[in-house]
Amino acid sequence: MAKVNQLQLEDFFTHHLPYEYDMLRGAAALLAQLPLPSKTEKAEITIQRNSLIESCGIHARNLIEFFKNKDSCDFEPRYFTEQGYKLKKSFVRSTLVDKINYQISHLTRNRTRVAEEKLTGGDIIELVRVIGAEMDRMLRSLRRAWGAKNEITIGTVIVGSFLLGASSEVSSGR
């Protein structure tokens, strides 16, 4: 575990964690509103779609690294939860994480041009669902002091035709 101070913990919990979760969910909701891809679509729609897919991937990866206590994240759920809370490192399919890593921000020989090997709408819905479930599991285990500072709520939101647990309202001010 990284050594972080109380102010950094509060900043992460009240600002950065809700921001990451809201951005994942907000980008997924906006992506679902775009028309299905077509060979004749305008470049602007393709750019919007790809930007939203990349946004979902980056925010999903940040949250996955938090929930799995990866070295790339200075924070992890046990900083905020009751003693006895166990990390559930298998909450997301490893092949889904591989897709994010190969497609989004790593320029490696594993990056693909094959559409079937890239993140799909179904993958994004799965990411939102499994990260939402893991967020809910953590929130139910918060220590009292962190529960009083919690700004993340779980409810219902529609992404495409799928109902998913919702985060707090997306805010441009975060």
Residue 137 included in any domain: yes
Q: What angle do CA 58, 14, 93 make, to 5 degrees?
A: 35
Number of domains the chain contains? 1
Q: What is the pLDDT averaged over residues 4-24?
A: 95
Q: What dihedral angle (degrees, nearest 10) is formed by the CA atoms of 134, 49, 170, 12?
A: 50
pLDDT digits (tens, 9 = 90+) for 68-115: 999 999 999 999 999 999 999 999 999 999 999 888 877 888 888 888
Q: Give the structural domain span for 13.
A: 6-164
Residue 171 included in any domain: no
pLDDT of residue 105: 72
Enter the pTM of the model.
0.86
